[in-house]
Amino acid sequence: MTSTDTAPSDSRVALITGASGGIGKAVAERLAAEGYAVAVHYAGNQQKAETLAAAITAAGGRAIAVGGDVADETAMAAAFDAAESAFGGVDVVVNAAGIMILSPIASLDLDDLDRMHRTNIRGTFVVSQLAANRVRAGGAIVNVSTSVTRTQLPSYGGYVASKAAVEGLGLILARELRGRDITVNTVAPGPTATALFLEGKSEELIEQLAGMNPMNRLGEPEDIAETVAFLAGPARWVNGQTIFTNGGMA
């Protein structure tokens, strides 16, 4: 299969990590609406993942819930196995699982740093490594970073360090997959109205962050899912890129 005869979306299969909520959930819903069979991955919230998979199935789509720690290669290999067993293969992998703990660098608890790096760096690496060996020709790997790698907001140091590593990983993997007809890209959302982002923030701070782009609002998970869907399917000539999806935030 070449980039000119990529399979239609109704025959494609996507595995989305962190799909029980936030951006991952919106991606699963968007790809399912476009005809993809989706493996809805969860780490800790099985009920939410199963509810989403059931809702997609009830609407006429194809979905299963798959669990596992993204940083555990055995658990994630089993998640790929489940998707392949249910749907015949995997064409698209979206690394949406992530955690964010904010603190000035000078006072960040190193255990918190290790937690972020285990999920955000090792988790993305483990899933990307599996994807590199198992995604079918014509497929796509989409990682999720953050626009804060460019805006340098205080208190985001540990989180940005982990996400900058995600961007670097994608750049290299895209080139290592030469000849495989698999694209690798990274989406870097700006402030987006998810539980991960909103937790612990005052209304004043949220309003301030929403005003950082000329659209004068927070992004919605569906805004990010739109870009992911583009990279997952029709964007065959976009490869090895980081797409800042933030409404024009400087």
Active-site residues, by number, are 159
Angle (nearest 5°) at CA 157 between 174 and 103: 140
| One-letter identity of residue 122 | R
Provide the token pair at 218.
Answer: 């927070």
d(CA 17, CA 11): 20
Is 231 within 8 Å of 185 (Cβ atoms)?
A: yes
d(CA 209, CA 134): 39
Residue with tokens 């998979």: 53
Is 77 within 8 Å of 130 (Cβ atoms)?
A: yes
CA distances 121 to 40, 101, 200, 217, 226, Å, are 20, 14, 24, 29, 24
CB-based contacts of 159, cutoff 8 Å, min separation 6:
100, 101, 102, 116, 120, 146, 148
d(CA 76, CA 170): 19
d(CA 4, CA 209): 41
CB-based contacts of 145, cutoff 8 Å, min separation 6:
163, 164, 166, 167, 186, 187, 188, 242
Provide the token pair at 91.
Answer: 């064409």
Provide the token pair at 44.
Answer: 């800790």
